[in-house]
């Protein structure tokens, strides 16, 4: 068994750590790039959403490097994610990749706990380690994703307060570059702990009052920087602080608490008056996060979604009500394989300028030009 998996932000680093810890051969998927997307888009149905195209591109590239097993999370939910696995299998078979095994980690009630255990058991059986050692490997993988998410969150938020412009971004790039070079879980955890301390001791000015933006929307596109055109890093360049709730470690906690109905109670409560029903994906979370962003003192929110994403289109239709009732600006950015970066940047800059003018009219370009 040679495992591969999709590249989705910090998830790939965590799954690689798990494979290293379990001593199972793996192929690390390429960091998402133009070629990955071109390969995926070329073989995907035109109307399928962007995350599928990236994933298919990842799988083909990794299979070409020797992978024979794809590990993927699944869902029987109402959006296209429920079709991802079957569709990917069919396309790969059609392309001549006949003997590729898919392990779908899906804990939904339709699949059931026993079937879930059987599927995960395939990975466990491929490891030469004892059950206890395997549990330790799983814990290390979670630790990795949790540390990565914490470092990222600190970097994105502190960028608005940093005294030395660009320091948070430099630390962010430095740790990501070194993390992929680590050869063992313990080496990686040591490195991440070092960078966690480093980012938390960045010199900041508490007198600064930067623009603060929440990043909300479809989980793949908010987590994967290439597909959202590095929105969080662009905000860092503008001296804007940003926050994002949907992270891989949030996803794990949410999944584990779901059977007990204790997952994200604050988000569920905040979304209830606007979207009381699940619409698949993270549409409900998007609405809850928008409401909470205002309550937590953010100046605005940016919703990111892939073109044609069903749950986020529903969320998008609710957003104008939240904007009006809460007096809270929210901009929507839709991404697909032909998204033009220039228009995306112009809209982001205009949004930030509008937020500045609301916060302090004399600071904005419009405020200066109009003399107001
Ligand atoms: S949430 Fe949206 S982008 Fe993700 S699989 Fe569902 S429809 Fe596609």
Instruction: Provide the domain count of the chain.
Output: 3
Q: How far is the CA of 255 from the centre of ligand 1 (A)?
A: 17
CATH number at residue 93: 3.40.50
Q: Please compute Rg for the chain using Cα positions.
A: 21
Q: Which atom of ligand 1 is nearest to the CA of 281?
A: 1
With respect to residue 27, please indicate whether it lies within any of the assigned structural domains.
yes
Do 203 and 215 belong to one domain? no
Which atom of ligand 1 is nearest to 81's Cα? 5
With respect to residue 132, please indicate whether it lies within any of the assigned structural domains. Answer: no
Of 108, 127, 146, the domain-final residue? 127
Which pLDDT score, from 0 to 100, does residue 363 have? Answer: 59
Whole-number Å distance, alpha carbon 257 to ligand 1 midpoint, is: 22
258 and 370 assigned to the same domain: yes
8 lines ligand 1 (CB under 6 A): no
- Calculate how far, in angstroms, residue 311's C-alpha sits from the geometric centre of ligand 1: 7
pLDDT for res 262: 79
SS3 label, residue 18:
helix
Clarify whether residues 30 and 58 are in a common domain: yes
Q: Is residue 272 part of a domain?
A: yes
Cα–ligand 1 centroid distance for 109 (angstroms): 20
Residue 228 covered by a domain: yes
pLDDT of residue 338: 80
Cβ neighbours of 98 (radius 10 Å): 7
Domain interval for residue 335 = 210-372
Give yes or no: residues 237 and 252 share one domain: yes
Pair 281, 184 in one domain: no
Strands 212-217 and 101-105: unpaired
Angle between helix axes 10-22 and 113-126 (nearest 10 degrees) is: 60
* Average pLDDT along the chain, 372 residues, taken 10 residues at a time: 94 95 96 95 93 96 97 79 91 94 83 84 95 96 97 98 97 97 96 98 95 97 95 97 96 80 89 92 95 97 94 96 97 90 93 94 52 34
Residues 79 and 167 in one domain: no
Ligand 1 pocket, residue 309 CB under 6 Å: yes
């Amino acid at each position: 068994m040679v495992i591969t998996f999709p590249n989705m932000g910090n998830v790939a680093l965590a799954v690689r750590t798990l494979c290293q810890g379990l001593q199972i051969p793996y192929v690390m998927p390429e960091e998402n790039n133009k070629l990955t997307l071109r390969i995926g888009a070329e073989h995907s149905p035109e109307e399928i959403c962007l995350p599928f195209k990236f994933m298919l591109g990842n799988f083909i590239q990794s299979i070409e490097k020797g992978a024979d097993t794809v590990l993927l999370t699944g869902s029987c939910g109402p959006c296209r994610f429920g079709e991802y696995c079957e569709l990917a299998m069919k396309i790969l078979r059609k392309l001549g990749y006949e003997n590729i095994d898919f392990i779908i980690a899906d804990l939904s009630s339709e699949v059931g706990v026993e079937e879930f255990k059987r599927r995960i058991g395939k990975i466990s059986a491929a490891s030469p380690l004892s059950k206890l050692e395997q549990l330790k490997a799983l814990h290390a993988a979670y630790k990795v994703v949790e540390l990565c998410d914490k470092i990222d969150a600190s970097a994105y938020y502190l960028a608005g307060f940093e005294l030395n412009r660009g320091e948070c971004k430099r630390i962010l790039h430095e740790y990501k570059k070194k993390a992929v070079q680590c050869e063992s879980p313990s080496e990686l955890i040591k490195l991440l702990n070092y960078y966690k301390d480093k980012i938390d001791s960045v010199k900041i000015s508490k007198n600064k009052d930067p623009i603060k933006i929440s990043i909300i929307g479809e989980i793949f596109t908010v987590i994967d920087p290439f597909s959202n055109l590095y929105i969080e890093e662009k905000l860092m360049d503008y001296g804007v602080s940003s926050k994002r709730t949907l992270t891989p470690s949030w996803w794990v906690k949410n999944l584990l608490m779901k059977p007990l109905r204790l997952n994200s109670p604050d988000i569920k409560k905040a979304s209830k008056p606007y979207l009381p029903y699940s619409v698949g994906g993270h549409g409900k979370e998007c609405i809850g996060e928008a409401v909470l962003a205002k309550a937590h003192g953010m100046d605005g929110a940016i919703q990111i979604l892939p073109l044609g994403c069903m749950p986020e289109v529903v969320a998008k239709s609710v957003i104008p009500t939240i904007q009006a009732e809460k007096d809270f600006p929210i901009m929507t950015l839709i991404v697909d394989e032909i998204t033009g970066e220039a228009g995306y940047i112009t809209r982001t800059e205009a949004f930030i300028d509008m937020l500045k003018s609301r916060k302090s009219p004399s600071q904005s370009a419009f405020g200066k030009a109009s003399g107001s």
